[in-house]
Structure 1
Amino acid sequence: MAIRQVSRDDFAWVIALGNANQVETGPLDEDRLTRLVEASYLSQVAEPDLGFLITFIPTSRYDSPNFVWFVERMDNFVYVDRIVVAAHARGQGIARRLYEGLFARAEADGYEHVVCEVNSDPPNPISDQFHAALGCTPVGQATLSNGKSVTYLSRALKV
């Protein structure tokens, strides 16, 4: 498995994979994916068509309510907007490799935290367990305008 920067050639499968998991991550189309990738700090894929990661930093032009929650409370972080692994590839360490690469890059660039949110309603216990194993701890909660509830997580980096 290779991890590399996302390219336009990846868009079709990234959109399909994202939409297959939109309950957790929200809908995705070509225009939205283009805007996300252009504004991102790091957008990567695990090939062949295994998964993807899209992240932002506080100065990114992005207005997700979850991202804004962190911007209003923290200064020096990388926000994981979405990380998705294909169903047939789960349990193979792909998400962990994407995260570990992000941790290393963010730490090298001087960021203090990697942050994200996980749905608490509807619940996502597999994601809760995975993020806890990575050392992520809860730092807040919110109920969004769409009725979803989320738990905000943070992992401190060794800067």
Structure 2
Amino acid sequence: MSIHIRDVREHELDSVLALNNGAGPAILPLDAARVRLLFDRADYFRVAIVDGHIAGFLVAFTEGAEYDSSNFRWFKDHLDAFVYIDRIVVASSRRGAGVGRVFYADIQSFAEVRRPHIACEVFLEDGNEAALLFHGTFGFHEAGQHVMSESGKHASMLVKPLQAYEWVRDTYLHGRDGELPSVPWLSERARDGAEGTRATGT
């Protein structure tokens, strides 16, 4: 099975909304306006394509984003710079097929050249031991717990230090031309409808 990761396209937002709201209690529901806000403001918003269909999506923000999630604000209060995974959703028919792991490899390659940490939360009320184990195997640790003011959900707040960032910062961001090399896999999210491409996995 080939898994292709690329930037979401505007005409796919209805499919993203349906996928999100069919994911179950571990994922907070969205409406069309909220999906549009994510599309407009997220620093990372990519979909996984399997056999020509959207098999999942991942949305992430950097610490300077204009975003009102209380979990995002919690991380802003505890970390100086980070990439925050707001949500990852994988279609039920594709769970266990490696889509989540390909997404996490991709978001790490995006984050580690830009920020020293990746942050995310896992809700604790819904029997999410598998999700906690999944994140633990990727090097995340609990930095605290938080109850969301907007939903009352109790979350484990997870952080992963990115060891490559210090070298990238010293070598490129604070040296040479102060910029990352101009190559496709380091590019920012396309905002003008261009078809950004990131990774292919199995």
Q: Which band: TM-score by shorter chain?
A: over 0.9
In structure 1, what is the Cα distance between the partners aligned to 2:42 and 2:80? 17
Q: In structure 2, what is the equivalent of residue 137 of structure 1?
A: 141
Point out which structure has higher relative CO (alpha carbons under 8 A, 6+ apart). 2
Per the alignment, residue 120 of structure 1 pairs with 124
State the distance in 2 between where 1:95 and 1:10 align: 19
**Separation in 1, partners of 2:152, 2:34:** 22
How is 1:7-156 mapped onto 2 (pairs within 5 angstroms)?
7-21=9-23, 23-47=25-49, 48-109=53-114, 111-145=115-149, 146-156=151-161
1:98: Cα distance to partner?
0.8
Contact 1:122 1:149 in 2 (8 A): no
CA–CA distance in 2 between the matches of 1:36 and 1:94?
A: 21
Please report the RMSD computed on the Cα atoms of aligned residues, expressed in angstroms: 1.2
Q: Separation in 1 of the partners of 2:133 and 2:93?
A: 19
Gaps of 5+ in 1: none
Q: Report which of the two has the higher share of helix.
A: 1
* 1:123 CA drift (Å): 2.7
Q: Give 1:25 shift.
A: 2.3
Alignment gaps of 5+ in structure 2:
166-202
Residue deviations 1:113-156, cap 9 Å, x none? 00000011233112111111111110000122333211000111
Give me the whole-angstrom Cα distance separating, in 2, the residues matched to 1:79 and 1:5: 17
* Greater Rg over alpha carbons, structure: 2
- What secondary structure sits across from 1:38 in the alignment? helix
Q: How many residues align?
A: 158
Q: Which residue of 1 aligns with 2:193?
A: none
Segment of structure 1 superposing worse, 81-90 or 100-109 = 100-109
Among all aligned residue pairs of Structure 1 and Structure 2, give the percentage whose two residues are the same amino acid: 36
